[in-house]
Amino acid sequence: MYKKEVARILIVDDESVNLKLLDKMLSAQGYSNLVLVQDSRQVLELYRQARTDLILLDINMPHLDGFEVMEQLKALDDPLFPPVVILTAQHGQDFLLRALNSGARDFITKPFYCNELLARVRNMLDAQLMHRMLYDQKAVLNEMVQTRTDELRRTRLQVVQQLGRAAEYRDNETGNHILRMSHISALLAKSIGWNEADCELMLHASPMHDIGKIGIPDHILLKPGKFEPEEWEIMKTHAVIGANILEGDDSELMKCAGEIALTHHEKWDGSGYPYGLSGEAIPLVGRIAALADVFDALTSVRPYKEAWTVEAAVDLIKENRGTHFDPDLVTVFLEQLPGILKIRDQFSEPENNA
């Protein structure tokens, strides 16, 4: 049951004598948080000032009648909208039906009978209290579900990142490559206008771009020299292997990761693999990942090569605009180069791996 001294009741009537009477009746029963409103134009602002638990509302008033007041209040779309009890001397069915359809919950007939008034006020306040309790319980449950969802999401992302690192380490690369590559991918996505959620998806899906290397035999994957033609054909299958590893999960994260794994070795001119896709037939996530991956691979030390200078890597990307890389993305890459270099510094290799 509502504490009478806490329940905020808005009483709206253009007749001062009615306001005084209602104030006297309710105050005598311990209701002390009463807001008396004679000018209906003030209701909206008074409602916004503090949580209201019940509204006693006259219908026939100058400026704004009760129907217009209810329309204003309903427009606020308050999930905890309080019950409205109409103060009226009318008994016509059409009038009462219109009031109910406008949002009223009950009626108090003029002249006011004290016991009837108090009973209706008490019932409405009790109903509103239950409504608030259910709403609060729902909010708590939603918060618990969101917390659990966030935990599962973090766990999934950790698994994703570890899978990506496993593939990189097997290829004699370091885990920092996938950090740099994924952050560069997200930066490029943001720079072409992707929303925050899609950029985050790119950030967390791109680390699995080379997960298919898990399925490549060691004598090929770890070969320090140039591949023989048949070895190169086997090596190229890691794109399809990666997509196969990641398929079967309908989450946006895994679908995006699978698409990246499959297409990040395709080239703008159609000379890439595994399917020889060209131009915009290559998914945009694959085009972004390709650019980020190649730049970081070029500028990183590998057991079989020295790191290229940034200048040399940028020159190669410029040379391959429109052949290997999406020309529009190359333009964005060059514009965002300062930010890309910051990412490179932020996730640089430890001294003993440099």
118-154, pLDDT tens digit by residue?
888 888 888 888 888 787 777 777 777 777 777 777 7
Question: How much is the average pLDDT of 239-249?
Answer: 90
As a whole-number percent, the residues of the chain with pLDDT over 70 amount to 92
Give CA–CA dist 55/86, Å, rounded.
8
- Give the closest residue to 340 by CA, choosing from 350, 330, 351: 330
For residue 31, what are the contacts with CB-CB under 8 A and spacing of at least 6? Answer: 4, 5, 7, 9, 121
pTM of the model: 0.59
pLDDT, greater one: 201 or 131: 201
Strand 54-58 and strand 9-12: the pairing is parallel
- Give the closest residue to 216 by CA, choosing from 197, 235, 231, 201: 235
Per-residue pLDDT for 165 more than 70?
Answer: no
Give CA–CA dist 348/350, Å, rounded.
7
Report the pLDDT value the prediction gives residue 168, as an integer from 0 to 100: 66
Report the pLDDT value the prediction gives residue 299, as an integer from 0 to 100: 93
Count the neighbouring beta carbons within 10 Å of the beta carbon of residue 86: 25
Question: How much is the average pLDDT of 272-299?
Answer: 96
- Residue bearing tokens 């980020």: 292
For residue 257, what are the contacts with CB-CB under 8 A and spacing of at least 6? Answer: 160, 205, 206, 208, 209, 211, 246
Task: For the chain, give every residue range classified as CATH 1.10.3210.10.
Answer: 171-353
Start-end of H helices in 192-221: 196-205, 218-221
Q: Which of 28-32, 33-37, 111-115 has the lowest mean pLDDT?
A: 111-115
- Is residue 264 a contact partner of residue 243, using CB atoms and an 8 Å limit? no
Task: For the chain, give every residue range classified as CATH 3.40.50.2300.
Answer: 9-142
Question: In Å, how far are 63, 67, 91, 121, 298 from 95, measured between CA atoms?
Answer: 19, 11, 7, 21, 79
Tokens coding 73: 């209040």
Report the pLDDT value the prediction gives residue 107, as an integer from 0 to 100: 83
For residue 272, what are the contacts with CB-CB under 8 A and spacing of at least 6? Answer: 265, 266, 282, 324
- Asked if CATH classification 3.40.50.2300 holds for the domain at 9-142, the reply, yes or no, is yes
Question: How much is the average pLDDT of 217-228?
Answer: 85
Count the neighbouring beta carbons within 10 Å of the beta carbon of residue 344: 18
Question: How much is the average pLDDT of 271-276?
Answer: 96
Residue type, 188: L
Report the pLDDT value the prediction gives residue 330, as an integer from 0 to 100: 97
Question: How much is the average pLDDT of 271-292?
Answer: 97
Confidence of residue 353 (pLDDT cuts 50, 70, 90): very low
Per-residue pLDDT for 174 more than 60?
Answer: no
CATH number belonging to domain 171-353: 1.10.3210.10
Question: In Å, how far are 112, 317, 346 from 288, measured between CA atoms?
Answer: 73, 13, 20
Report the pLDDT value the prediction gives residue 55, as an integer from 0 to 100: 93
Per-residue pLDDT for 320 more than 90?
Answer: yes
Confidence of residue 303 (pLDDT cuts 50, 70, 90): low
For residue 238, what are the contacts with CB-CB under 8 A and spacing of at least 6? Answer: 210, 212, 213, 215, 216
Tokens coding 247: 């398929």
Question: How much is the average pLDDT of 99-125?
Answer: 84
Helix (H) / strand (E) element for 56: namely: strand 54-58
Give CA–CA dist 82/73, Å, rounded.
10
pLDDT tens digits for 341-352? Answer: 999 999 887 664
Question: How much is the average pLDDT of 245-265?
Answer: 90
Number of continuous H segments (helices) and E segments (strands) in the chain: 15, 5
Question: Is 11 in a helix, a strand, or coil?
Answer: strand
Give CA–CA dist 50/27, Å, rounded.
20
Q: How far is CA 118 from the centre of its chain?
A: 46
